[in-house]
């Protein structure tokens, strides 16, 4: 992969995350992550639960859960540091530049607010539109992901799991962030929903203006989707390569396990 720093959208060097309280040695949860994201690229992060995928993604958007902190490493976005030293403000705009779609759309959406409003809030915040324009743009974004405009006034409990996931995708299509991070977008979906979501993700990066980081425990999904893969195991990045390299190579033991698991699911009728 061309690793020229000049055109990289996002570079992560030796990132380590963990918990450090005064007086005690640091507990490292994620160690030495290295990757670089180019425009138009889909980066896949695979690994079992608890391997640190979500934590890494949280770090990228500045949403690490309370006690966890960045212990070391550098992250650069569009030429500047992701989190500049002296200021409290991040070096990017959440939502507009980097959008992190949480793992569970049910918990990401406020059950008391209509889904259309939740989408248009983000758009209005990012682009400064008024309510009417916000609503119009939201409906456009919703249609792009296959939700009719009638869904605007619905509450999350009135939607199926797949529809809620599409609401999150509609946010992505409306905001058009340069980096879209999707955490387990296909988990718990039936096949047709899953295919539709994968298609949307591909569509998202097609124009080469934006990239995506897709996290999944399902290597099979990522192999068909990503341009480049990272394999996480127990907080460490144990392998990196293209899907072809990962599948073919004699890499880390854990990778073999993931590949075998994938094969198991593929062979079953």
Among 122, 145, 219, 231, binds other proteins (CB under 8 A): 122
Q: Does 15 bind other proteins (CB under 8 A)?
A: no
**Separation CA 59–CA 215 (nearest Å):** 14
- Cβ of residue 127: shortest distance to other proteins, in angstroms? 10
By CB under 8 A, which span of 25-33, 88-96, 240-248, 261-269 interacts with other proteins?
Answer: 88-96
CA atoms of 56 and 72, how far apart (whole Å) = 13
Phi, psi of 215 (to 5 degrees): -105, 135
- Name residue, tokens 């295919």: 195
How many C-beta atoms lie closer than 10 Å to residue 247's C-beta? Answer: 16
Q: How many other C-beta atoms lie within 10 A of the C-beta of residue 63?
A: 11
Q: Which of 30, 37, 99, 167 contacts other proteins by CB under 8 A?
A: 99
DSSP sequence for 66-128: TTEEEEEEEEEETTEESS-SS-SS-SS-BTTTEEEE-S-HHHHS-TTS-HHHHHHHHHHHHH-
- Contact between 113 and other proteins by CB under 8 A: the answer reads yes
Rank residues 120 and 193 by Cβ distance to other proteins and give the closer one: 120
- Judged by beta carbon, residue 52 or residue 174, the one nearer other proteins is 174
Q: Please, which of residues 210-249 interact with other proteins by CB under 8 A?
A: none
- The distance of closest approach from Cβ of residue 157 to other proteins in the complex, given in angstroms and rounded to an integer, is 6
What part of residues 142-201 is at the interface with other proteins (CB under 8 A)? 155, 157-158, 171, 175
**What residue ranges bind other proteins (CB under 8 A)?**
61, 63, 93-96, 99-102, 104, 107-113, 121-122, 125-126, 155, 157-158, 171, 175
């Amino acid at each position: 992969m061309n690793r020229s720093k000049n055109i990289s959208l996002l570079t992560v060097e030796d990132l380590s995350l963990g918990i450090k309280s005064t007086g005690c040695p640091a507990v490292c949860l994620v160690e030495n992550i290295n990757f670089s994201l180019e425009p138009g690229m889909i980066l896949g992060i695979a690994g079992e639960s608890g391997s640190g995928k979500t934590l890494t993604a949280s770090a990228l958007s500045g949403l690490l859960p309370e006690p966890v902190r960045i212990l070391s490493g550098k992250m650069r976005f569009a030429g500047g540091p992701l989190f500049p030293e002296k200021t409290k403000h991040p070096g990017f705009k959440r939502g507009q530049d980097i959008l992190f779609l949480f793992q569970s759309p049910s918990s990401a959406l406020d059950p008391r607010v209509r889904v259309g409003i939740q989408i248009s809030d983000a758009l209005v915040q990012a682009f400064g539109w008024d309510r009417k324009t916000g609503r119009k743009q939201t409906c456009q974004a919703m249609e792009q992901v296959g939700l009719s405009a009638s869904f605007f006034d619905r509450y999350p409990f009135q939607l199926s799991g797949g529809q809620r996931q599409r609401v999150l995708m509609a946010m992505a299509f409306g905001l058009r962030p340069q980096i879209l991070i999707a955490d387990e977008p296909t988990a718990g979906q039936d096949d047709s929903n899953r295919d539709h979501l994968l298609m949307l993700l591909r569509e998202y990066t097609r124009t080469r203006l934006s990239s995506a980081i897709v996290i999944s425990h399902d290597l099979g999904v990522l192999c068909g989707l990503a341009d480049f893969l990272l394999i996480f195991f127990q907080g460490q990045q144990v392998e990196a390569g293209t899907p072809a390299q990962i599948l073919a190579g004699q890499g880390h033991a854990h990778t073999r396990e993931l590949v075998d698991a994938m094969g198991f699911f593929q062979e079953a009728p």
